[in-house]
Chains A and B, each alone.
Chain A
């Protein structure tokens, strides 16, 4: 390696390694601090269990607050079987119990007992990873805090000497990272956890406060604890380096494909379909899904507004049968009310569905509803992460959004920049009727049409037809039909005039041709006469010469 970097080990916590650029500092201690119930122990145990199962690094868990039994039960909810790991010699748990009431302090002491226990546990399984949860319990059990501090300093130094990577957890203090200032001793890496409730929606967040000698993400990152363990969701874990596809996929609407250079969207791109209420956004999305399933690809439809049954029923009315794809196992609906969970939970569920089902195409219908559970900024950040995630899987995403029709809509401005293509469905109101107009606002990397097409919903699905573009205005609906009829009439008249003109010309041509024929005849007879005259004259001349010769011979003239 040309550059001497800090060596890091994978934490095994999905997402955390992206934020920290590779994991926790190898052979050092990391402090994880947070309030009660912020997930410190879960983090620590995931680090150990994943280390043992995935990276072949056995671990030691020294707990000060929970017994081995309690711990095993608590992490059972994550699907971890600590007993089995212990039986396999991949994990050692040591419960350190200090009861102040039982202990009398008389004179000088040190914490060699703790060191001995830790050393023994490390040796017994050959541990590479160590967790101390929560070391600060010592402060409650022992009164000589000066001595404790000195011993803790010694402990951290000792841990470093052992070459183990350690996680120390600590309770958050009032206005400080930890109640007893442990961050003073563990200076390599500090991670703060937080569990906040905003408008009745709780979200867990994580922040890397400090990571000596390395670049790290400094934002607060949401994380989840569910049956699959801990997932940290980095805002952009994939750093805009997705592979891009050079394949195009149909939008499922022939007219729209035609507007997109005849080939549809890029595979793996994100497409925003926006429009006012009732403009047919869902129908556009349904066509898109239908086309994907028709190709034999899988699709996931995230519905935030309507139930799957309702969507299926409504789409049947425009000739799109989605039920057949559900039955064939190609289409999965994932419907939930936006307010049911926080944004992060929604995101995590979407991740999970995409992971499970491996779709080629995803529809989110609609996205603006999510703003019920988060600010525009939060929704934007969530969508950004969703899109990044989908792109990393080459999943093509179609997202629908409400827009008031004005391009000043702040929400669209926020979201649209994330999108590769933006199709807008507008209501065009004129001559007392509303008609739908569809146009492609942007389509990155596609030479697309800039025209508005009239968007007609029929029992056979969506049809796009050219709107009347002439005389400086756009006509749709019956106005267009009337205009087209008018134009047809004018055209017919014009055709008639042309026919008359053509007939006239034909007649003239015949006349002139007849004249030419007559003149030609004249000319030919004159030429014949002249030739006859010339022949006659020549004959006369020849006769004269002959006569002259005859006279000369008769006279006996010498030559």
Chain B
């Protein structure tokens, strides 16, 4: 089922949904930044959406849990919830393992 991104240099478009600066979202953001720098340096854009400021986006993007990381590009759309502390699962969830090899 896993799709290999078409090319290793495809742009990565990531969006992290948080609801206020809670410890969980701070942790998640730190974890995510670390991971992206390690695996996707220079090829990703990361957008942080605070739902407290933009509540209408929660419905549009089907967000239930906080924090939620959405991989918008490359397709397919992926959602990872939690503070991203389990690094291995994040790598698998984002298919980062596939571009590594």
CA distance A108 to B67 in the complex (A): 8
Is the Cβ of A106 less than 8 Å from the Cβ of B90? yes
The residues of B that contact A116 with a CB separation of less than 8 Å are: 19, 51-52, 55, 58, 63, 66
Q: Which of B14-58 contact A (CB under 8 A)?
A: 17, 19-20, 22, 24, 27-28, 51-52, 55-56, 58
CA distance A142 to B56 in the complex (A): 23
Out of B17, B28, B89, which one reaches A113, CB within 8 Å?
A: B17
Is the Cβ of A108 less than 8 Å from the Cβ of B55? no
Is the Cβ of A109 less than 8 Å from the Cβ of B85? no
CA distance A109 to B67 in the complex (A): 6
CA distance A106 to B16 in the complex (A): 14
* Chain A residue nearest to B62 in the complex (CB): A97
Out of A98, A102, A106, which one reaches B84, CB within 8 Å?
A: A106
- Minimum C-beta distance from A119 to chain B (A): 7
CA distance A387 to B22 in the complex (A): 63
CA distance A329 to B55 in the complex (A): 59
Is the Cβ of B80 less than 8 Å from the Cβ of A113? no
CA distance A113 to B68 in the complex (A): 9
The residues of A that contact B27 with a CB separation of less than 8 Å are: 107
Is the Cβ of B64 less than 8 Å from the Cβ of A113? yes
Is the Cβ of A94 less than 8 Å from the Cβ of B59? yes
Q: Which of A100-135 contact B (CB under 8 A)?
A: 102-117, 119-121
Is the Cβ of B82 less than 8 Å from the Cβ of A106? yes
Q: Determine if B86 is an interface residue (Cβ-Cβ < 8 Å).
A: yes
Q: B83-101 toward A: CB 8 Å interface, digit per residue (1/0)?
A: 1111001101100000000
CA distance A104 to B88 in the complex (A): 11
**Of A114, A116, A142, which is in contact with the most chain B CB atoms at under 10 Å from its CB?**
A116
Given the contacts A113-B51, A113-B68, A106 and B58 also touching, CB distance less than 8 Å = no
Q: Determine if A96 is an interface residue (Cβ-Cβ < 8 Å).
A: yes
* Chain A residue nearest to B24 in the complex (CB): A108
The residues of B that contact A110 with a CB separation of less than 8 Å are: 24, 65-66
Number of A-B contacts (CB under 8 A): 101
The residues of A that contact B65 with a CB separation of less than 8 Å are: 103, 109-114, 142
The residues of A that contact B56 with a CB separation of less than 8 Å are: 120
Is the Cβ of B63 less than 8 Å from the Cβ of A106? no
Q: Determine if B73 is an interface residue (Cβ-Cβ < 8 Å).
A: no
**Of B58, B63, B66, B79, which is in contact with the most chain A CB atoms at under 10 Å from its CB?**
B58
The residues of B that contact A97 with a CB separation of less than 8 Å are: 62
CA distance A552 to B68 in the complex (A): 178
CA distance A103 to B89 in the complex (A): 11
The residues of A that contact B67 with a CB separation of less than 8 Å are: 109
CA distance A432 to B22 in the complex (A): 99
Is the Cβ of A106 less than 8 Å from the Cβ of B86? yes
The residues of A that contact B93 with a CB separation of less than 8 Å are: 104, 106
CA distance A138 to B64 in the complex (A): 9
CA distance A195 to B8 in the complex (A): 57
The residues of A that contact B55 with a CB separation of less than 8 Å are: 116-117, 119-120
The residues of A that contact B51 with a CB separation of less than 8 Å are: 112-113, 116
The residues of B that contact A111 with a CB separation of less than 8 Å are: 64-66
- Minimum C-beta distance from A155 to chain B (A): 11
Is the Cβ of B59 less than 8 Å from the Cβ of A117? yes
The residues of B that contact A103 with a CB separation of less than 8 Å are: 65, 79-81
Q: Determine if B78 is an interface residue (Cβ-Cβ < 8 Å).
A: yes
* Chain B residue nearest to A115 in the complex (CB): B19
**Of A94, A105, A108, A142, which is in contact with the most chain B CB atoms at under 10 Å from its CB?**
A108
Given the contacts A109-B67, A116-B51, A96 and B62 also touching, CB distance less than 8 Å = yes
Is the Cβ of B64 less than 8 Å from the Cβ of A114? yes
CA distance A105 to B66 in the complex (A): 11
CA distance A107 to B83 in the complex (A): 5
Out of A98, A109, A115, which one reaches B83, CB within 8 Å?
A: A109
The residues of B that contact A104 with a CB separation of less than 8 Å are: 78-81, 89-90, 92-93
The residues of B that contact A108 with a CB separation of less than 8 Å are: 24, 82-83, 85
The residues of B that contact A142 with a CB separation of less than 8 Å are: 64-65, 81
* Chain A residue nearest to B81 in the complex (CB): A109
Q: A131-147 toward B: CB 8 Å interface, digit per residue (1/0)?
A: 00000001001100000
CA distance A115 to B20 in the complex (A): 12
- Minimum C-beta distance from A210 to chain B (A): 29
Is the Cβ of A113 less than 8 Å from the Cβ of B19? yes
CA distance A307 to B84 in the complex (A): 74
The residues of A that contact B64 with a CB separation of less than 8 Å are: 96, 98, 111, 113-114, 117, 138, 141-142
**Which residues of A does B touch, CB under 8 Å?**
94, 96-98, 102-117, 119-121, 138, 141-142
Return 27 A-B CB contacts under 8 Å, by A number: A94-B59, A102-B78, A103-B79, A104-B78, A104-B80, A104-B89, A105-B89, A106-B83, A106-B86, A107-B27, A107-B84, A108-B83, A109-B65, A109-B81, A110-B24, A110-B66, A112-B19, A112-B51, A112-B65, A113-B58, A113-B63, A114-B64, A116-B66, A117-B55, A117-B59, A120-B55, A142-B64
Listed from nearest, the 10 A-B pairs whose CB atoms lie closest are A104-B93, A107-B82, A120-B55, A107-B85, A112-B66, A113-B63, A112-B19, A107-B83, A106-B82, A106-B86
**Which residues of B does A touch, CB under 8 Å?**
17, 19-20, 22, 24, 27-28, 51-52, 55-56, 58-59, 62-68, 77-86, 89-90, 92-93
Other 15 A-B pairs with CB < 8 A, given A104-B93, A142-B81: A103-B81, A104-B92, A106-B93, A107-B27, A108-B24, A108-B83, A111-B66, A112-B19, A112-B51, A113-B19, A113-B65, A116-B52, A116-B66, A120-B58, A138-B64
